[in-house]
Amino acid sequence: MSKVKVMRTIKSAVAKSPIGLSCCDLEERVDAYLENELGWPAKMKIRMHAAMCRDCTSYLRAYTATRDLVRAAIRTEAEGADTLPDDIARKILERKKSGPEDGAA
Amino acid sequence: MHQESAAKPLHQRLLAGEPAAAEELVTTEGGRLFQASRRILGNEEDALDCVQEAFAKAFQKISTFEGRSDISTWLYRILINESLIRLRQKRRSKIIDIDSLMPEFDIEGCRIEPPWQPVKDPEQLAESGEIRRHVRAAIDILPEDARNVLLLRDIEELNTRETAEILEISEAAVKVRLHRARAALKKLLEPHFGAGDVE
Ligand SMILES: [Zn+2]
């Protein structure tokens, strides 16, 4: 039996035990885990599973890294756009003056 | 500005039709709203249109503002709604089949996952314009329901309840859609963490 197969057999045996968790179970709880919404026992189960499961460890790392990349990329992209141009601010106020008064419509 | 009028809440001064109040709102909130709309839409022209639309709507319905939340929160929500409407109207060349991007498991329920060997961290990667274009392109091909939740939760950093209220869906739906969006983006973007794609 290869090393990978042995690990998988152990993993699925532990997953079926009362304290265990399968990769699928972990998948269902991944966001709650990352957002720190889980109670202590559930958190420990995930950590125990990840300690044994190279695939889930890789997955968790890639999942959080991508989430962080998406946030950082979009925030960087919009960095320059932090002041409303004067002509737009003027347009907004002019439109307000000429537009219908509140409650009139 | 008169002392007594400055002491009144901004929304009451807006309701009373004080021109200085409108100007104050545009000055204090304009930049922040522009940036938020820019994050959602990915370009300045559309973002500026949405900011103008949002202010016009806010001035029109200021009497419906109940003062329970902050006026800037109220205005921000109007802006987000405008931006999402605009985003929906934009033509898209392609929408991905999101199911094809979900994680894979074997028959035992064991995950099948390649090893994770990134060359750069997310912050470093985000400095590359090329990578930022890949990120925007990946968001652009997500189905609308997953994309909207991702934008509000992970980009705007609103919580589950706020996101559910704005999108008028349940909190459970927010969670499911967010997970699908994140898993899909992971699959689409993880190749860019490798050595081959770094500038
Ligand atoms: Zn696993």
Q: CA angle at residue A44 from A39 to A45, to 5 degrees?
A: 105
Rg of chain A on CA atoms, in Å: 25
Do B103 and B172 sit in the same domain of this protein? yes
Q: What band does B92 get if pLDDT is binned at 50, 70 and 90?
A: confident
Domain-located, residue B198: no
Q: Which chain B residues are Cβ-neighbours of A83 within 8 angstroms? A: 30-31, 34
Residue B25 above 70 pLDDT?
Answer: yes
Tell me whether residues B154 and A70 touch, CB distance under 8 A: yes
Chain A residue nearest residue B157, CA to CA: A71
Boundaries of domain holding A54: 3-98
- Ion ligand 1 residues within 5 Å by Cβ: A 23, 53, 56; B 111
Domain count, chain A: 1
Domain-located, residue A103: no
Q: What pLDDT sits at residue B6?
A: 54
CB contact A91 to B (< 8 Å): yes
Q: What pLDDT sits at residue A104?
A: 42
d(CA B134, CA B153): 20
Answer for the pair A7, A27: CB distance below 8 angstroms, yes or no: no
Do B33 and B63 sit in the same domain of this protein? yes
Tell me whether residues B155 and A66 touch, CB distance under 8 A: no
Residue B41 above 90 pLDDT?
Answer: yes
Q: What ipTM does the predicted assembly reach? A: 0.90
Mean pLDDT on A27-47: 94
CB contact A71 to B (< 8 Å): yes
Residue B177's CATH number: 1.10.10.10
Domain count, chain B: 2
Share of chain A above pLDDT 70, in %: 85
Quote the distance between the C-alpha of residue B188 and its chain's center.
Answer: 19
Residue B56's CATH number: 1.10.1740.10
Give the closest of A15, A55, A78 to B35, CB-based. A78
Please provide the average confidence, as pLDDT, over all residues in chain B: 91
Domain-located, residue B178: yes
Residue with the two structure tokens 């990120």: B135
Sign of CA dihedral B56, A83, B152, B14: negative
Between B11 and B42, where is the model more confident?
B42
Boundaries of domain holding B120: 98-193
Chain A residue nearest residue B115, CA to CA: A58
Q: What pLDDT sits at residue A1?
A: 64
Distance A28 CA to ligand 1 centre (A): 12
Q: What pLDDT sits at residue A81?
A: 81
Domain-located, residue B83: yes
Residue B195 above 80 pLDDT?
Answer: no
Residue B134 above 50 pLDDT?
Answer: yes
**B90, B115, B145 — which closes off a domain?**
B90
Give Cβ neighbours of residue A9 (< 8 Å, ≥ 6 apart).
Answer: A1
Q: Which chain B residues are Cβ-neighbours of A73 within 8 angstroms? A: 125-126, 131-132, 135-136
Q: Which chain B residues are Cβ-neighbours of A21 within 8 angstroms? A: none
Q: Which chain A residues are Cβ-neighbours of B171 within 8 angstroms? A: none
Do B58 and B84 sit in the same domain of this protein? yes
Domain-located, residue B146: yes
To the nearest 10 degrees (0 to 180), the angle between helices A86-98 and B44-60 is 30
Q: What band does B58 get if pLDDT is binned at 50, 70 and 90?
A: very high
